[in-house]
Chains A and B, each alone.
Chain A
Amino acid sequence: AQTVTQSQPEMSVQEAETVTLSCTYDTSESNYYLFWYKQPPSRQMILVIRQEAYKQQNATENRFSVNFQKAAKSFSLKISDSQLGDTAMYFCAFMKRDNNAGNMLTFGGGTRLMVKP
């Protein structure tokens, strides 16, 4: 079984600054995906960024980037130039890479991020 741990229940950052959210995971799998999802207040969960474990290059999506350390089983999210709209709950998630149906996500407990003006 996989476990995902987010050690920071809450964080805050000033608008325009950079913040890093931590995530560690435990698995015996060698092929898998890692995700960061964002859940704004009272709104739908959306995918922020995705990393395939076999790729050494860290994924980036505009102001969002990850630091993927496979040996350390660490997957942190960096948000640059933070904006008020980044205020949300952020979830780190793991998915086993499997040819069979049923691509389930295992989630961490979440980090609540507040961006302050």
Chain B
Amino acid sequence: DVKVTQSSRYLVKRTGEKVFLECVQDMDHENMFWYRQDPGLGLRLIYFSYDVKMKEKGDIPEGYSVSREKKERFSLILESASTNQTSMYLCASSTKHRGSGNTIYFGEGSWLTVV
């Protein structure tokens, strides 16, 4: 089974802190994604990466950055956390090969509270 692991399930951080959310996948997937989930808004794409060291902005990249130094790991960085970044963050991955059916696999999510 595909496994997407988010190392921190629940975090509480202070305003202005630098926050790292880590995600690891074990299926050698090329594509990795970070989504933010808020009630009524569904999931919104923050950043995605289609290869090592490659990244593309999603719909809501402001206040976030990402790092992909190794294929299996995709990190989301909040340079200076703010209270409006309190949310659930979901990491996901997929292969780029269309024979897979383009299924995207999700991690369990990281609940971040900024106080």
Contacts and interface: CB of A to CB of B under 8 A. Distances in A.
Interface residues of A, number: 26
Contacts of B43: 91, 93, 105, 107
Interface of B: 30-31, 33, 35, 40-45, 48, 50-51, 56, 58, 90, 92, 94, 96, 98, 101-104, 106-109
Contact of B101 (A50, A99, A110): A50
Nearest to A45: B106
Contacts of A44: 106-109
Contacts of B90: 45
A109 B51 contact: no
A109 B96 contact: no
B103 A47 contact: yes
Given A33-B102, A97-B102, A103-B96, 7 more contacts: A44-B107, A44-B108, A47-B103, A91-B43, A102-B48, A105-B33, A105-B104
Interface of A: 4, 6, 9, 33, 37, 43-47, 50, 91, 93, 95, 97, 99, 101-110
A66 to B, nearest CB: 15
Nearest to A106: B45
A103 B33 CA distance: 10
Contacts of B96: 101-103
28 contacts: A6-B42, A37-B106, A45-B106, A45-B109, A47-B104, A50-B103, A91-B42, A93-B43, A95-B102, A97-B102, A101-B96, A102-B31, A102-B48, A102-B50, A103-B31, A103-B102, A104-B33, A104-B48, A105-B33, A105-B43, A105-B45, A105-B104, A107-B42, A107-B43, A107-B44, A108-B42, A109-B42, A110-B42
B1 to A, nearest CB: 11
A4 B33 CA distance: 19
